[in-house]
Amino acid sequence: MNTQYKKGVLELLILVMVDKRDMYGYELVGEVSKIVDVNEGTIYPILKRLTNENYFDTFIKESKEGPIRKYYHITSVGKLKKEQQLQEWKKFSLSVNKFIKRSEVN
Protein backbone atom coordinates (compact mmCIF):
# COMPACT_ATOMS: atom_id res chain seq x y z
CA MET A 1 0.00 0.00 0.00
CA ASN A 2 1.13 3.51 -0.77
CA THR A 3 2.93 5.08 2.20
CA GLN A 4 1.08 8.38 1.83
CA TYR A 5 -2.28 6.59 1.96
CA LYS A 6 -1.23 4.95 5.24
CA LYS A 7 -0.06 8.19 6.81
CA GLY A 8 -3.40 9.78 6.07
CA VAL A 9 -5.48 7.11 7.77
CA LEU A 10 -3.43 5.80 10.71
CA GLU A 11 -4.53 8.44 13.20
CA LEU A 12 -8.17 7.80 12.37
CA LEU A 13 -7.77 4.03 12.73
CA ILE A 14 -6.12 4.45 16.13
CA LEU A 15 -8.81 6.85 17.35
CA VAL A 16 -11.57 4.47 16.23
CA MET A 17 -9.94 1.44 17.88
CA VAL A 18 -9.28 3.13 21.20
CA ASP A 19 -12.81 4.53 21.21
CA LYS A 20 -14.10 0.94 21.23
CA ARG A 21 -11.95 -0.04 24.22
CA ASP A 22 -8.79 0.92 26.07
CA MET A 23 -5.75 -0.62 24.40
CA TYR A 24 -2.00 -0.84 24.96
CA GLY A 25 0.56 0.10 22.32
CA TYR A 26 1.69 -3.31 21.12
CA GLU A 27 -1.94 -4.44 20.92
CA LEU A 28 -2.72 -1.41 18.74
CA VAL A 29 0.21 -2.21 16.46
CA GLY A 30 -1.18 -5.71 15.98
CA GLU A 31 -4.72 -4.52 15.28
CA VAL A 32 -3.69 -1.75 12.89
CA SER A 33 -1.38 -4.22 11.11
CA LYS A 34 -4.43 -6.31 10.23
CA ILE A 35 -5.65 -3.37 8.14
CA VAL A 36 -2.45 -1.73 6.89
CA ASP A 37 1.15 -2.90 7.09
CA VAL A 38 2.80 -0.89 9.91
CA ASN A 39 5.39 -1.33 12.61
CA GLU A 40 5.86 -0.08 16.15
CA GLY A 41 8.05 2.80 14.99
CA THR A 42 5.08 4.21 13.11
CA ILE A 43 2.38 3.79 15.77
CA TYR A 44 4.14 4.92 18.96
CA PRO A 45 4.88 8.48 17.77
CA ILE A 46 1.20 8.87 16.85
CA LEU A 47 0.16 7.62 20.30
CA LYS A 48 2.58 10.04 21.96
CA ARG A 49 1.25 12.98 19.92
CA LEU A 50 -2.40 12.07 20.55
CA THR A 51 -1.65 11.85 24.27
CA ASN A 52 0.24 15.17 24.27
CA GLU A 53 -2.70 16.81 22.48
CA ASN A 54 -5.10 15.48 25.17
CA TYR A 55 -6.96 13.12 22.84
CA PHE A 56 -5.82 10.18 24.98
CA ASP A 57 -5.20 9.62 28.66
CA THR A 58 -2.87 6.81 29.71
CA PHE A 59 -2.80 4.46 32.64
CA ILE A 60 -0.59 1.59 33.72
CA LYS A 61 -2.02 -1.87 34.29
CA GLU A 62 -0.32 -5.10 35.29
CA SER A 63 -0.48 -7.96 32.85
CA LYS A 64 -0.97 -11.62 33.63
CA GLU A 65 1.25 -12.50 30.65
CA GLY A 66 4.23 -10.20 31.17
CA PRO A 67 5.33 -6.74 32.19
CA ILE A 68 3.06 -3.85 33.08
CA ARG A 69 1.40 -2.16 30.11
CA LYS A 70 0.57 1.43 29.30
CA TYR A 71 -3.03 1.64 28.16
CA TYR A 72 -4.56 4.42 26.10
CA HIS A 73 -8.03 5.74 26.88
CA ILE A 74 -9.80 8.19 24.57
CA THR A 75 -10.88 11.47 26.17
CA SER A 76 -14.02 13.45 25.38
CA VAL A 77 -11.84 15.74 23.25
CA GLY A 78 -10.50 12.63 21.50
CA LYS A 79 -14.03 11.44 20.76
CA LEU A 80 -14.79 14.78 19.11
CA LYS A 81 -11.55 14.54 17.11
CA LYS A 82 -12.48 11.01 16.01
CA GLU A 83 -15.94 12.10 14.86
CA GLN A 84 -14.48 15.06 12.96
CA GLN A 85 -11.89 12.90 11.22
CA LEU A 86 -14.44 10.19 10.49
CA GLN A 87 -16.74 12.68 8.77
CA GLU A 88 -13.84 14.13 6.80
CA TRP A 89 -12.73 10.63 5.77
CA LYS A 90 -16.23 9.64 4.63
CA LYS A 91 -16.62 12.82 2.59
CA PHE A 92 -13.14 12.46 1.10
CA SER A 93 -13.47 8.77 0.21
CA LEU A 94 -16.95 9.33 -1.27
CA SER A 95 -15.62 12.12 -3.49
CA VAL A 96 -12.66 10.05 -4.65
CA ASN A 97 -14.84 7.00 -5.34
CA LYS A 98 -17.33 9.10 -7.32
CA PHE A 99 -14.52 10.58 -9.38
CA ILE A 100 -13.05 7.14 -10.12
CA LYS A 101 -16.43 5.74 -11.15
CA ARG A 102 -17.06 8.67 -13.49
CA SER A 103 -13.61 8.30 -15.06
CA GLU A 104 -14.15 4.58 -15.62
CA VAL A 105 -17.38 5.24 -17.53
CA ASN A 106 -15.73 7.71 -19.93
Give the CATH number of domain 3-105; options: 3.20.20.70, 3.40.50.1000, 1.10.10.10, 1.10.1040.10: 1.10.10.10
Residue of 9, 4, 88, 95 whose CA lies nearest to 103: 95
The whole-number pLDDT of residue 100 equals: 93
What 46-51 contacts at long range (C-beta under 8 Å, 24+ apart), as own/partner pairs, is 46/10, 46/11, 46/14, 47/14, 47/72, 50/11, 50/14, 50/15, 50/78
Position 2 confidence tier, pLDDT thresholds 50, 70, 90: low
pLDDT digits (tens, 9 = 90+) for 87-96: 999 999 999 9
Task: Say whether 24 sits in a helix, a strand or coil.
Answer: strand
The whole-number pLDDT of residue 10 equals: 95
The whole-number pLDDT of residue 61 equals: 93
Domains of the chain by residue range: 3-105
Position 104 confidence tier, pLDDT thresholds 50, 70, 90: confident
pLDDT at residue 3 above 80? no
Task: Evaluate whether 48 touches 70 at the Cβ level (below 8 Å).
Answer: no
**Core vs surface per residue 6-18: b (16+ CB within 10 A) or e:** beebbbbbbbebb
Task: Evaluate whether 5 touches 96 at the Cβ level (below 8 Å).
Answer: no
The whole-number pLDDT of residue 91 equals: 96
pLDDT digits (tens, 9 = 90+) for 18-74: 999 999 999 999 999 999 999 889 999 999 999 999 999 999 999 888 889 999 999
